[in-house]
Structure 1
């Protein structure tokens, strides 16, 4: 350390004690407690725009969806201390940026711990013309409201409304049974909880041109990726998996990619679930096909399929994808006629 700052071959040196593996983990954890993710930003938002709102931030980064630097509508904002981060979350939640109310969340483990109690109500049979603002007038105590959009920006006919706990979510469901929004009577149900401990994310809506390398670059902290391909042609099936070292890293990456794009395609990101979790929660009728047999079991959010397939010892990539629970909501939204 005595050589710190000394000139060697004309260059100033910088010396420091080597960190142990445990201390580097601790440092990373401390840093994530000082970072907030900001979502629902206009795509035109710049770091300078956010600095006007978060004046004491030490680092602001607009999250890009591809190598061209196209914004995802999200950003990471770092502060000097955990206390400043907490104050920013309380004071700036819902702040107006470019005409949109921003949604703030912690990064890393703290985000996972805070979200473990969150309960999501799925609003189905939603009119395509319904907006998040019109839903806010109905679900006034919700902490977050999101209407998933397709590639053209049109509503998929359902919404996800988050509440701080199961009690408040159930109360909302009781209070808003058969409520009419924009001329349609909505249907409500609780969404099945994702696997908070999963270290793997399932990504849908990928472009046929997206490679495993591009997919890895889109997710900070990813350690591995797999794109599911057709057995015969080798073409991408449009979905894949992203692995992380920890569940906290996976959770943070999922938050950052919410409503994001990869290679120009809007993608949907879910926690990957094991076969055991899928059976426990009830399978999706769209995933499992068969010519008869027992109906899917479980009391999960989505109904089981009408048939089953015999298990095989060696799984091909497509069968591996069946280990993931895919919400079958998009097809229900397409059945609307308005």
Structure 2
């Protein structure tokens, strides 16, 4: 529908599963129309053109979608109960294996020629100075579309074996995992700038000097343990942070003492979901004053020492004595940071040798939102190394 992009409202789409293969769009419309105005119905077909047993329904409002979930889940259609759930609305795709000689202008032109409904293109710039015309980017990009439907169509096209960009290049196309929805009130209180594309020669003093014209700064923190440094500038006022982002995001900086140039990427540091953290912290409150002496090895993907066995007080003391220092360092991290780290380890994106005990000590010193941003940056780097050819 031509009006689809105009009516795109976050949370307004539902997933409908358990459909009979004979279902039609008019049947779906009849079932869901009393929940609210329907903007689009997408019946999914297989390669042979047969209707699959699920579809997506997008409404004009989030309230209509919520009503559909409440009232239509369990509805019997042709003897089958259907299920209705909120749709996971991914609208951004990762493109890897790109020509590193493409400029942002060239890549955006190519993408917009192939795919309609592109909102923005974020081509990863090289870190530090590069004089070679052969490397104008790092070989990957993130493309945001006007809707999940538009992104899904692009994903289907981009996943075909014969799909080419620029005439002769087959990219790796993947969905980008959605970021958790942020409470606008919490986001508005953040006064920390998260800065990427820093060279290894960057230092806190020069970074502070760059941002001082925008307002009073409490402190500057540099994280050097990942694949490339990232920085955090703590302002005393939110307005100063916003001015700094407007003034410095995308700006090319010449670093001192013969250092390289780099184009800064600046955004608001993401806040922590305090409600989830509180719920989990409350359940472990009784353990807060001591380091747990034993954690199942499955949690970390790290074997525990054979000496770490349960039993008498004497054995328990011995267990602490022989506890893996890496596990202890992980357990001492704030809960939200620990969970993000464990996810990276479980997925095999990195190992304890990539993120060593010194890294964990540095993570513990950072604010939670900053530590999570660092881990997200490391995850992106490792994903790039895995997907892109060397």
Structure 1 length-normalised TM? 0.45
User: Which structure would you say has the larger RCO, counting Cα contacts within 8 Å and 6 or more residues apart?
Assistant: 1
Q: Which is helix-richer, 1 or 2?
A: 2
Structure 2 length-normalised TM? 0.40
Q: Which is strand-richer, 1 or 2?
A: 1
Select the structure of larger CA radius of gyration: 2
